[in-house]
Amino acid sequence: MANLVNLERVTVHSGITTVLDAISLGVNTGDRIGVVGANGGGKSTLLGVLAKTRTIDAGRITHAGGLRVAAVAQDDELPPTATVREVVLGAAAEHEWSGQAGVRAVISGLLGDERAGGVG
């Protein structure tokens, strides 16, 4: 397994509050991760650091070369009729992504093979 993202002693502050305090972790190919915690516990901050949308105050973060990261923010306004596939793929036509095994794997992982609508 290849290491995709690595955090070493990462600290993030929000004002005078320490949200993440010297955390270290790695994310490898094939990992499935759940982030659970109390409101205000730093879940969104951690995901923002992993997704390259939040800066860190101390420590080191490395991403594998060529890694592309995308995220749907918890406050994004999505059309109520949008499917998971539409949110993930956006306006990309089916022929643009159907030949990409990695994209098919993400959709299948999110929806399961039966609900992925033939993707896989």
pLDDT tens by residue, 83-97: 777 777 776 656 666
At 46-72, the pLDDT tens digits run 999 998 889 999 999 998 888 877 776
Mean pLDDT of 73-91: 75
- In terms of Cβ atoms closer than 10 Å to its own Cβ (0-12, 13-18, 19+), residue 107 is buried
Average pLDDT, rounded, for the chain:
80
Mean pLDDT of 102-107: 72
pTM of the full predicted structure?
A: 0.63
pLDDT-based confidence at 120, cuts 50/70/90?
Answer: very low
pLDDT of residue 37: 87
Count of H-run helices and E-run strands, the chain: 4, 3
Q: Do residues 56 and 49 make contact, with C-beta atoms less than 8 angstroms apart?
A: yes
Q: What distance in Å separates the CA atoms of residue 72 and residue 88, rounded to the nearest whole number? A: 8
pLDDT over 90 (residue 19): yes
Selected residue with higher pLDDT from 35 and 91: 35
Selected residue with higher pLDDT from 22 and 115: 22
